[in-house]
Amino acid sequence: MKRTRVRFAPSPTGPLHMGGVRTALYNYLFAKKNGGDFILRIEDTDSHRFVPGAEQYIIESLNWCGIIPDEGVGVDGPNPHAPYRQSERRGIYRQYAEQLVNGGFAYYAFDTAEELEKARAEAESEGRTFIYNATTRGKLRNSLTLSGEEVQELLTSRTDWTIRFRMPEGRTVQMDDIIRGHIEVDTSTLDDKVLWKRADELPTYHLANIVDDHLMEISHVIRGEEWLPSLPLHYLLYESFGWERPLFAHLPLLLKPVGNGKLSKRDGDKMGFPVFPLKWVSPEGEVSRGYREDGYFPDAFVNLLALLGWNPGTEQEIFSMDELIEAFSLDKVGKSGAKFNPDKAKWFNKEYLRMRSDQELTELFMPVLSAHGISAEKSRVQEIVALIKERATFVSDFWDIAWYLFKAPEEYVQKDAAKFWKSENVLMAREALSATASAHEMEEYIREREWPMGKVMNCIRLALTGSSNGLGIADIMRFIGREEALERFRRAEERLII
Ligand code: GLU
Task: Report whether 465 contacts 404 (CB < 8 A).
Answer: yes
Domain boundaries, the chain: 5-77+208-255, 92-205, 265-277+287-353, 356-402, 414-495
Give yes or no for residue 37 having a pLDDT over 80: yes
Does the Cβ of 89 fall within 6 Å of ligand 1? no
pLDDT at 123: 92
- Stretch 45-61: mean pLDDT, rounded? 93
Q: What is the pLDDT of residue 77?
A: 84
User: What is the dotted CATH code of the domain comprising 356-402?
Assistant: 1.10.8
Q: Is 223 in the pocket of ligand 1 (CB under 6 A)?
A: yes
- E strands in 58-122: 71-72, 106-109
List the one residue out of 393, 410, 310, 304 whose CA is nearest residue 354. Answer: 393
pLDDT digit string, tens, across residues 353-375: 999 999 999 999 999 999 999 99
DSSP string over 13-53 = SSSPPHHHHHHHHHHHHHHHHTT-EEEE-B----GGG--TT
Q: Choosing from 265, 339, 344, 419, which is the catalytic residue?
A: 265
CA-closest candidate to residue 40, choices 92, 82, 91: 82
For range 179-203, the mean pLDDT? 97
Q: Express each pLDDT in 452-461 by its tens digit.
A: 999 999 999 9
Round the CA-based radius of gyration of the chain to a whole number and report it: 32
What topology does CATH give the domain 265-277+287-353?
Glutamyl-tRNA Synthetase; domain 2 (1.10.1160)
Q: What is the mean pLDDT of the chain?
A: 96
- CATH top-level class of 5-77+208-255: alpha beta
Strand 71-72 and strand 106-109: the pairing is unpaired
The reported pLDDT for the residue numbered 497 is 80
Q: Closest residue (by CA) to atom 3 of ligand 1?
A: 10
Q: How confident is the model at residue 92 (pLDDT cuts 50, 70, 90)?
A: very high
Assess whether the C-beta atom of 130 lies below 6 angstroms from ligand 1: no
CATH 2.60.40.10 for domain 414-495, yes or no, is no
* pLDDT (0 to 100) of residue 47: 82
Q: Which amino acid is at 121?
A: A
pLDDT at 68: 98
Asked if 265 is an active-site residue, the reply is: yes
pLDDT above 90 for 259:
no
Give the CATH class of 92-205: alpha beta
Question: CB of 105 within 8 A of CB of 166?
Answer: yes
DSSP SS3 for 10: coil
How many CB atoms neighbour CB 193 within 10 A? Answer: 20
pLDDT at 498 over 80: no
Dump pLDDT digits (tens) for 372-424.
Answer: 999 999 999 999 999 999 999 999 999 999 999 999 999 999 999 999 999 99
Please state the atom number of ligand 1 nearest to the C-alpha of residue 9.
5
Which of 205, 216, 247 has the most ligand 1 atoms within 8 A of CB, as the residue to mutate? 205
pLDDT (average), residues 93-121: 96
How far is the C-alpha of 51 from the C-alpha of 59, rounded, in Å?
14
292: pLDDT strictly greater than 80: yes
Q: Is the CB of 349 under 6 A from ligand 1?
A: no
Q: Is the pLDDT of residue 352 over 80?
A: yes
pTM over cut 0.85: yes
For a ligand 1 pocket test, name from 57, 193, 223 the mutation site with the most ligand atoms within 8 angstroms of its C-beta: 223
% of the chain with per-residue pLDDT over 70: 100
Compute, in angstroms, the gap from residue 9 CA to the centroid of ligand 1: 5
Establish whether the linkage from the previous residue to 83 is cis, with ω within 30° of 0: yes
Instruction: Give the residue from 247, 200, 196 showing the smallest Cα distance to 221.
Output: 247
- Residue 287 pairs with which residues in a beta bridge? 281
For residue 209, give the nearest of 248, 162, 178 by alpha carbon. 248
Q: What is the pLDDT of residues 207-253, one digit of tens each?
A: 999 999 999 999 999 999 999 999 999 999 999 999 999 999 999 99
Secondary element (H or E) of residue 222: strand 220-224
Closest to 308 measured CA to CA, from 332, 279, 277: 332
State if residue 213 touches ligand 1 by the CB under 6 angstroms criterion. Answer: no
- Is there a contact between 330 and 179 (Cβ–Cβ < 8 Å)? yes
Does the C-beta of 43 come closer than 6 Å to ligand 1? Answer: yes
